Amino acid sequence: MGANEPRAGQIVQHYFLWTREQATGQTEGAKPRPCLVVAVEPFEDGSRVTLLPITTRRPEPGASALEIPDAIKARIGVDQRRQSWLVLDEANVFTWPGFDLVPQPNGGFAMGTVTSGFFRRVVDSVFALRARGRVNPVDRNS
């Protein structure tokens, strides 16, 4: 697997499109943000990936998010001085590499990776939300 191939657990910079933005007719994310690759599935001539966004904005009441611990923030290269959350009920899905990924100085797309323990918490939380119909994926291929 090359440096440009997606792997679950990686953090990438992506122009994430929120469902509220898509609902107003937007087709592009407003700014690049760190996102977690939560799933990679074989798809036609490549891979279909699902990303979850990271934000420094406190989640709205009723939103599903995990606060990112300082040790994880240090691993993935996000500002440790600010609180950050991984939003669990919003996702972008697209065929890798897509047009909204930001290349990193190392030539690949990954900024870092989360720990296996944190990733397991994320996956368990997303599965629970999906079972309740609470995950809102935005298909970025359309």
For residue range 98-119, list pLDDT tens digits in order: 889 999 998 899 999 999 999 9
- List C-alpha distances in Å: 28 to 11, 117, 120, 138, 142: 19, 32, 30, 11, 11
DSSP state of 69: P
Instruction: Tell me how far apart the alpha carbons of residues 101 and 121 are, in angstroms, rounded to a whole number.
Output: 25
Read off the pLDDT of residues 52-96 as tens digits, 9 standing for 90 and up. Answer: 999 999 998 888 999 999 999 999 999 999 999 999 999 999 999
Q: Global pTM?
A: 0.93
